A and B are shown apart, each in its own frame.
Chain A
Amino acid sequence: MRLTVALPNDSAAKLQEYAHPEMIVTTEWVAEHLDDPGLVVAESDEDVLLYETGHIPGAVKLDWHTELNDPVTRDYVDGPGFARLMSDKGISRDTTLVLYGDRNNWWAAYALWVCSLFGHPDVRLMDGGRAKWIAEGRPLSTEEPKRPQTDYPVIDRDDTHIRAFQDQVLAHLGQPMIDVRSPGEYSGELLHMPDYPQEGALRGGHIPGAKSVPWARAAAEDATFRPRVELEAIYLGEAGLRTDDDVVVYCRIGERSSHTWFVLTHLLGFGHVRNYDGSWTEWGNTVRVPITRGDSP
């Protein structure tokens, strides 16, 4: 039996300000621990080919579209599916899994949220993601790592704590909600592009009462998360949230809002944030749910 020593937390000063510093590591930490047994680094991108152009040496690829979704039903993989996926990637239940990706870790945060539905005990985000690693001139490799197959246990997915479904969002109307899409999507104007394929929703606008805080505001220029004090100014100050609020976040299909879920839950210490992954592609297509148009909640 293999004895795995848990990897240490990153002691970088900036991270210690966050509510859960154990959920995030710096590029320096990853570079230092890359060869440690017990660590698997996984890249999760918007672009399905980006990993192939070069990735952190030894990192495996985790594709949201093709691997974390059920191929038929609009849902995530189930317990056996997740166990198969993790086993194929060489990830064990006691692996320290570090996720990173393109676009301010947008998709990496999504992958982390899905891993959290299965309660993977130690999963972290690499602050700054792919962009920061490359900007620092760190090495990339096109070699696909061959990690030995593992035997990841079948864990039931727990949708009760961090995931919200449409009926729950309907019951939540009037309580704190954040729409993390772009201002044009929020107001409803972006669905008016005649003759072009639409982004999958028949109605434009937002869920009544939802405040607009575009997700990328949580990221700094170098793709890292903003320092805690700046995040507090946005979410506690401007948006008026309290850390003990029951909050629902959503976007178009639940990816961008995973990023905000991570910020609120793990960087600011909110106790109850749920990601409504049905998001606008469900809400904007549903008969007779209320919709608000324009710039105001």
Chain B
Amino acid sequence: MSTPTLNPRLQEIVDDFNAMSGKDRLQLLLEFSQELPALPDRYAEHHDLLEPVPECQSPLFLAVEVEPDATVHLFFEAPPEAPTTRGFAGILHAGLDGLNADEVLATPGEFSSRLGLQDLVSPLRLRGMAAMLARIKRQIRDQRG
């Protein structure tokens, strides 16, 4: 049985994580949390436009925009005191923002389990990332009608 392929950007992130030892993986996750872009004003000032993700242990909000040419843009907000949740959002942003809607929809739901973080972060915490991805996909489908 073959595993579904990831888009090249996500695959590179997965490869980077797996090339590292445990402690370095956590550091890389921390870097993704630091690189998560801040919300643009149109969302920062209108929090009601963001969708909450209660499956994350810490508060996380996201918004998805699909342009007419099907390019997807992702926006996340998570507080600095939730670096793991921010890190997951940072990975999804780095791996999916700017891709075509079909490419985002093709991302396997279990992709977060390929990062080699289960033992370091716990499956319970990783579930938050799967939930973010599920909500992103649902928003894309909703917006495309």
Contacts and interface: CB of A to CB of B under 8 A. Distances in A.
A65 B124 contact: yes
A246 interface: no
Given A71-B119, A102-B81, A193-B54, A49 B29 contact: yes
A263 to B, nearest CB: 22
B122 A65 contact: yes
Given A46-B58, A47-B58, A52-B27, A197 B121 contact: no
Interface stretch (B4-12, B40-48, B92-100, B127-135): B127-135
A197 B55 contact: yes
Interface class of chain A by DSSP = loop
Given A197-B55, A197-B134, A48 B84 contact: yes
Given A52-B27, A52-B83, A197-B131, A65 B55 contact: no
Interface string A36-76: 00000000001111101100000000000110000100000
B119 to A, nearest CB: 7
Interface string A196-207: 110100000000
21 contacts: A46-B57, A47-B58, A47-B82, A47-B83, A47-B84, A48-B120, A48-B121, A49-B26, A49-B29, A49-B30, A49-B83, A49-B87, A53-B80, A53-B83, A65-B124, A66-B121, A66-B122, A196-B135, A197-B130, A197-B134, A199-B55
Given A47-B57, A49-B87, A102-B81, 17 more contacts: A46-B58, A47-B82, A50-B81, A50-B82, A52-B26, A52-B27, A52-B30, A53-B80, A65-B121, A66-B119, A66-B120, A66-B122, A196-B54, A196-B131, A196-B134, A197-B55, A197-B127
